[in-house]
Amino acid sequence: MIKNINSLIAHGNSKLRKYILEIANSTLKRINAYNILKEKIRVNGELEVDGEKIEIGKSRIFVVGFGKASIPMAKAIRDILGSRIKGGIINSPYPGEIENFKINVLPHPLPDERTVKASMEIIEFVKKLKENDLLIVLISGGASALFEVPQKGMSIWEERKIVERMLRKGANIFELNKVRIALSQVKGGKFLKYIKSRCISLIISDVIGPPQLVGSGPTYPQRYQIDNIVERYNLRLKKIEYENDVYGESCQNIVVADNTYALNMGEKIAEKMNLRAKTLPSFLHGEPKDIFKKILNSLNTSYDVFLFGGETWVNLRNSSGKGGRNQELALYIALEIPENTSFICLGTDGIDGPTDAAGGIVDDTTLARIKAQEINIKKELLNHNSYYVLKKLGDLIYTGYTGTNLADMCIGFRPINL
């Protein structure tokens, strides 16, 4: 899963790196969406998802999905239900092949006309289903950009510019998705107006907290007041005909895994390695420069491994640097990392910011190696240029497509008896 694991172990504090990289690598393998659904779903006369039972009887079953994990989710459903599935459509940023499914490969993180066309195809697909049919909707992080039809009077390019502006100004996922819901004909539960059949949503959540905002909640009826967000980010929203109807709860929503699931899996893996581990959910919240000391202060001598979950954000302002929130967090930690300590910070989806890296690794030798290469670390951090620094050190983590999306994970390793 971590493609460059051997080169990462070959320098720095190799003894620490060997352990922490094994924990990260094994966790990523275990939390692949295919593995999660195969573990959580059973068929025994009825469909059972993580304890929730859904009557399927002789119903025809159809599947639609959108998100970074939608292809492995669909493959798992296809393998579990086999020929019971009569067809499906998946909107994904990655290519794939599944028997009896159409895969639409679309841009991410920003939509375009192809997104609207593929989304309309899904809408027309579900509109044809009958009341006794069962529709399974697969939703995972990234769905906001992969399933979209803008409100009447707004083009996808106008919506895209608004999202781009918010991203550059450091908007968090909650703010982004609330605005996306307001601008959409399918988000915030509005997708439900096209569904007349029975429906269940299976969700791989990259959101910290309630799952309504995963993929901007296409099957979760909700509405938000966004005036304060519009003012905060100086959004130039022209007056459009907003659709204000909130559609009823006709789709059973089941969260099959979230960020806590990933942390717990990492904890189990560490404990199998005879290491004492502690999970700290919802810990990664805020900008890296504001929370790295809190992370370091949470280390104590009772545990070897610390697993921090959540999602930070970076306000780029007018910087010209290249990096991602996890790469930046790792470098801030390196500034004051204790002796005999290593950290990995990464996105479980394998993508950190607009880069080809999942994140970065640092240890108690990193700062000395930075100084030896005459890198002005404080200047580069102010310019949000973490990718450049970690690449020069050989400490970027590359995973490629991980087949999951459970937000971010930062692993601290400070062994007691090693």
Fold type of domain 33-257: Rossmann fold (3.40.50)
The CATH architecture of the domain made up of 5-30+259-413 is 3-Layer(aba) Sandwich (3.40)
**180 conformational bin, left if phi > 0, alpha if psi -120 to 50, beta if neither:** alpha
DSSP E strands, 52-133: 52-54, 61-66, 85-92, 101-105
Handedness of CA 314, 320, 326, 329 (dihedral sign): negative
Amino acid letter, 37: L
Domain boundaries, the chain: 5-30+259-413, 33-257
**Element (H or E) spanning 310, and its range?**
strand 305-310
Peptide bond into 288 cis (omega under 30): no
Cis, bond preceding 109 (omega within 30 deg of 0): yes
**Sequential pLDDT tens for the chain (418 residues):** 999 999 999 999 999 999 999 999 999 999 999 999 999 999 988 999 999 999 999 999 999 999 999 999 999 999 999 999 999 999 999 999 999 999 999 999 899 999 999 999 999 999 999 999 999 999 999 999 999 999 988 999 999 999 999 988 888 888 999 999 999 999 999 999 999 999 999 999 999 888 899 999 999 999 888 989 999 999 988 665 555 565 656 799 999 999 999 999 999 999 999 999 999 999 999 999 999 999 999 999 999 999 999 999 998 888 889 999 999 999 999 999 999 999 999 999 999 999 999 999 999 999 999 999 999 999 999 999 999 999 999 999 999 999 999 999 999 999 998 7
Sign of CA dihedral 21, 27, 32, 35: positive
Predicted TM-score (pTM) above 0.85:
yes
